[in-house]
Amino acid sequence: MRIIPAIDIIEGKCVRLTKGDYNTKKIYNENPLEVAKEFEASGIEYLHVVDLDGAKASQIINYKVLEQIATKTNLKIDFGGGLKSDKDLEIAFNSGANQITGGSIAVKKPTIFESWIAKFGAEKIILGADFYPDNSGGKIATNGWQEESSLELIPFISDYQQKGIQYVICTDISKDGMLQGPSFNTYSKILKECHSEQSEESLKLIASGGISTFEEIPKLEEIGCEGVIIGKAIYENKISLKELEKFILNK
């Protein structure tokens, strides 16, 4: 299972929010490149970068930070936040993104999102399935989590899997930044129910939101998650880079 630390960016700085609320912003480092280099020095190969300014503005904003990290480290970066047009994607890929994540666009303009899968290839496009939990499993949220759609989580993922999507980042918004543990049951259910007859590729599910202790990581691997995004738990020293380095070395 891939370990993918998160760097969220507002005004060029490395920040974390709680449940996606911009009013809870906490700055952890003025220089995201410093943070990225620290991750790389610990044997980490992947990075999840979210342009929170871009998510609000509905267009890419912090591509210079992406470019800096991409040119000065060897990290494979997936980049998201406000990507709405082909031009946004071209800027992201030209700035060094290895993959991009589309969430709101996949809900509101599915034709555009599907065209990206066709144009850039399924290995380059990640579906962002960010949800508010409810009795049926969850409803997909959009626009930097400011809005809730009527789309249900599992059918949403399943539909896109039929359209060629392989990678899905799934965030339980109610757990994001809370350090109370991830949505194990939801991830198990997704992996059980989402399969594609048209594709031999199994779903590459990336867990996100609520990771709080190192012990949760092997548990997510056991469920079948392909990757895990870790944010606040690293910044608040709940999970050390030494522990993650050891986990990676033992693979």
Active site residue 86: no
- Contact criterion met (CB below 8 Å) for 76 and 97: no
Which residues contact residue 130 at a Cβ distance below 8 angstroms, ignoring those fewer than 6 apart?
Answer: 103, 140, 141, 145, 169, 170, 171, 173
**Does residue 233 contact residue 240 with C-beta atoms inside 8 Å?**
no
Q: 3-state class of 32 per DSSP?
A: helix
Question: In the numeric block, which tokens belong to residue 248?
Answer: 């990676």
Secondary structure of the chain: what % helix, strand, coil (to 5)? 35, 30, 35
Among the listed residues 8, 53, 88, 176, the single catalytic one is 8
Q: Give the active site residue among 53, 78, 130, 172.
A: 130
Provide CB contacts within 8 A for 143, sequence distance 6+: 55, 58, 104
Integer Cα distance of 30 and 44 in angstroms: 21
| Tally of CB atoms within 10 A around 94 | 12
- Residues 168, 203: contact at Cβ < 8 Å? yes
**Residues catalogued as catalytic:** 8, 130
